[in-house]
Structure 1
């Protein structure tokens, strides 16, 4: 959540780090792009009209299939659409199709073809002299490289995106690029730099009212503060992120902020607040009917009670979590939870 790397294929178009695609380290949700609106363009060559209409139909179908989780079918529809767009020379539509294909390849675990699709998206933006798309496409590639462990390469790509955004004074692109560079700095362990970059990113994101981007960047900022043990600022960053996410019905980022707050409040022994946060987390997971998030909530409860020395309560939550892990076939979590249960033996 099978654990998804990204929740919508359009994360590859509207990256909001902190990855689709922009907060690579943490899950996030963005609204699906209206393919119909994006495909509206003059049909100058009437001879190509039937082909283009068929390709547009296939691309829309692919988006529907992706959102329904049918990734193999998405790939088939997308590749057919791409072939037609190539034959009629429609570069803009090819770019949209590569967005869909890249995210689909990621879901299918085909890293090589995912990166290829991302790089082709960048090449098309360069050919079209589409500056804004270049900025976002480079950020998408940087986010992808960061997720695959190529941190330094990711930093170089996103730095290129930032340079373009600054040159054309693109506020949105600067905010996104700075936020992504903050993630790179966090991965490299340079937390002061990560904080500086994220705080600067917030200025740009707030300047244009990019609330979704602001929430992601605040969560990234909370991660960096947490890493250096600055719990006051950690709680401040995550707290604002949680409130904004709640107001904007951004459940994934709300859960992410709650997880950060649980860690921070636990570190300063504010256990009553931790209990409240864990209750909220489980309620949201149940509302979403998300077994993976329910599993995380149960495991968090188990760890919390184990920390308090309340071993029977910890055992009860771990057992519930093990049962759910088996049900959703999350073998990795099941093994970890069983190890936690074994550690409670004799206590």
Structure 2
């Protein structure tokens, strides 16, 4: 498994170093540090990039002799972020408390930075961003530019990890402008390197290359191993996106070499993992295993759970590919257990997908199907949690807007009442003037009524849009899982589900995201959705079930017609490539399908159980090589208990004939 992209929990390992460099800058206050003191702080900062423990030891005597509060804040900030970098999180919290005790706005901002870095090491990116934003708000307007640079880089890094690329780019650009004003080459390098990484993730490879060229010149002029290691790591990512495998390998090897020179074990661990992943992709499994085993030793020694997860998973995949199945499964299962204990659900799902592919390639179909089932359950849970979060966010925004409209209407109403009181007072003095004011009041009432009516119309429209958004997938426009569930519950009866279900999954979709970026992945999902709609009838229900998975519900039809429909769907997806910019991607799908109730017993089942059965058929199709449809012809179960036994051991039921399947192969990709 590669060190995951910035949107996943696994990004903590790769992105930590950019964050370390940011947070270890000298903590600036409203007044500039003395030049000699600033030079000393910068030297300790450079030391911390390679050896956080040594930096902490260097700071202790300086703290005892700090000449003023500005110096003390600078030293404590360096100490706290160094402690967090070395996974000494309790010590970092104590240092943040010492900063709070100084009771100044600058110290408060520095304490929030230290806490944000420690929280990020725990894996809570959202809370870390909240702390960074609080630090930004606490910082005085006349604070030193170095502190502002630090906060913009912290915010950019966290926004990037949380998938908010546009906001991250704006923060990085602000930080770069500050670094130029400070004439600080290390800070300029970090900003350009971060922007390059963002462009790589977004698929903007030309712009990424431009930023990398600038970063290369800066890193060479600084000639610091830690910075050069980071540069070559970013260059390896760019080469991977450009599909330049030889350069990717050379860059990853250079990154590891400079990391060893720097001597920071966390940095060495990261570069070992990245090089091991490069070897995996190149099919050099023995080299991958050797490098990754070294990363495992370091991860255990420095107590880095996220790095250990990725290293164990990569080692397990290499062992499985080498035929060491038992040891490989043991390592991957340990990685999965750690991911669940850390609540890294996206990492857990990604590991399972790669685990299944490795087992399938090794011919271990039994464990491969099991891994695919676990990955599907994890992906569904992740999609459901994401959907709920998005819906709650949308509803909160709607409620906020509604409340604001109500406040505006109340203010207008209060203004009208005040005007009416003034009118009554004036009426006692001058009747004609009062009449004029009353007329003005009536006009105001009419205008207010019209605006209230318009506001109500907008409110009704917002309610309608909220309902639509709750029923539709934002990317494809298809109905979503929530709508499908509500529709099926509405039509469910006591006789069980009657009709056909088709569950399909885009083959090797993760490779599209890893190779071409998430924007290309979105283009593939959108194209597949449109081709499904073009193939199906208006009366059929086509749903984006989650991620790269789609579900179709159709009416009852003869089995021969159902087989032809499955074949048409395979052909519709694979017959022409999906284009994205200059890319041309051949895409295939795997399908599981069945028409219910199933012979011979025609046992009534609900639609949820029907989906579970076509899901099992889907994974048989994937295990048999993908680009095919697997249809369930019959299930010999006359009771719920017998059906439970079959679903609990689907492979055994296939072997003894209790389940009969039909396999429909797909066309070669690109064949018309």
TM-score by length of 2: 0.42
1:54 corresponds to which residue?
Answer: 105
Q: Does 1:257 align with 2:314?
A: no
Mapping 1:1-347, distance limit 5 Å:
5=7, 18-20=14-16, 33=23, 38-39=27-28, 42=31, 53-54=104-105, 57-58=108-109, 60-61=111-112, 64=115, 67=119, 69-70=126-127, 73-74=130-131, 77=134, 80-81=137-138, 84-85=140-141, 88=142, 90-106=144-160, 109-296=163-350, 308-311=363-366, 318-328=372-382, 329=384, 332=546, 335=549, 341=616, 342-344=618-620, 347=654
CA distance in 1, matches of 2:320, 2:160: 35
2:27 counterpart SS class: helix
Deviation at 1:139, TM superposition (A): 1.6
252 and 268 in structure 1: CA distance in 2 versus 1, 3 angstrom threshold: same
Quote the Cα distance in structure 2 between the aligned partners of 1:189 and 1:199.
Answer: 17
CA offsets, 1:41-93, max 9 Å, x none? 7468xxxxxxx9436535644775783634785575355346x43xx262111
Contact 1:239 1:257 (C-alpha < 8 Å) held by counterparts: yes
3-state DSSP of counterpart to 2:203: coil
The verdict on how the C-alpha distance between 1:225 and 1:111 changes in structure 2, with shifts beyond 3 A counting, is: same
Q: 1:340 to 1:150 in 2, by over 3 A?
A: farther
Whole-angstrom CA distance in 2 between matches of 1:112 and 1:300: 30
8 Å contact kept, 1:142–1:157: yes
CA distance in 2, matches of 1:239, 1:287: 22
Assess, with a 3 A threshold, how the Cα gap between structure 1 residues 39 and 167 changes in structure 2: closer, same or farther.
closer
How many aligned residue pairs are there?
321
2:546 and 2:315 map into 1 onto residues whose CA distance is 25
1:305–1:314 contact (8 Å) kept in structure 2: yes
Is the Cα–Cα contact under 8 Å of residues 298 and 320 in structure 1 kept in the other structure? yes
The whole-number CA distance in structure 2 between the counterparts of 1:201 and 1:334 is: 34
Q: Which residue in the other structure is 1:48 paired with?
A: none
What SS does the corresponding residue of 1:269 show, helix, strand or coil? coil
- 1:108 offset after TM fit, Å? 5.6
Structure 2's unaligned 5+ residue stretches are 34-102, 386-544, 551-610, 621-629, 633-653, 655-672
1:271, CA displacement in angstroms?
0.8
Bigger drift between 116-125 and 235-244 goes to 235-244
The Cα of 1:207 is off from its aligned counterpart by 1.3
Change beyond 3 A, Cα 1:189–1:297: closer
Cα distance in 1 between the residues matched to 2:147 and 2:325: 53
Q: CA RMSD in A?
A: 3.9
Alignment partners' CA distance in 2, 1:207 and 1:234: 21
Within 2, Cα distance between the matches of 1:285 and 1:8? 10
- Asked whether the equivalents of residues 180 and 188 of structure 2 are also in contact (C-alpha less than 8 Å), the reply is yes
1:8–1:20 CA contact under 8 A, matched in 2:
no
Return the index of the structure with the highest Cα Rg.
2
The answer as to whether partners of 2:256 and 2:275 remain within 8 angstroms in 1 is no
CA displacement, residues 172-210 of structure 1 (integer Å, 9 cap, x when unaligned): 211211121122112211121122122222222111202
The structure with more strand, counted as a fraction of residues: 2
Structure 2 Cα separation of the partners of residues 179 and 107 of structure 1: 17
User: Which is further off, 299-308 or 122-131?
Assistant: 299-308
Cα distance change, pair 60–5 in 1 and its aligned pair in 2 (3 A): farther
TM norm structure 1: 0.75
Q: Which runs of 5+ in 1 are unaligned?
A: 23-28, 45-51
Query: For 1:220 and 1:207, how far apart are their aligned partners in 2?
Result: 17
- Is the CA contact (8 Å cut-off) linking 1:205 and 1:214 kept in structure 2? yes
| Structure 1 residues 170 and 324: CA distance shift in structure 2, 3 A | closer
- Flag the structure with more relative contact order, 1 or 2, with Cα contacts below 8 A and sequence separation at least 6: 1
- Of the structure 1 ranges 197-206 and 280-289, higher mean CA displacement relative to structure 2 is found in 280-289
Range with greater deviation from structure 2 (61-70 or 249-258): 61-70
Distance 1:8 1:228, change over 3 A: closer
* Cα distance per residue 1:75-125 (max 9 Å; x no partner): 75355346x43xx26211111221232234335643222101102212211
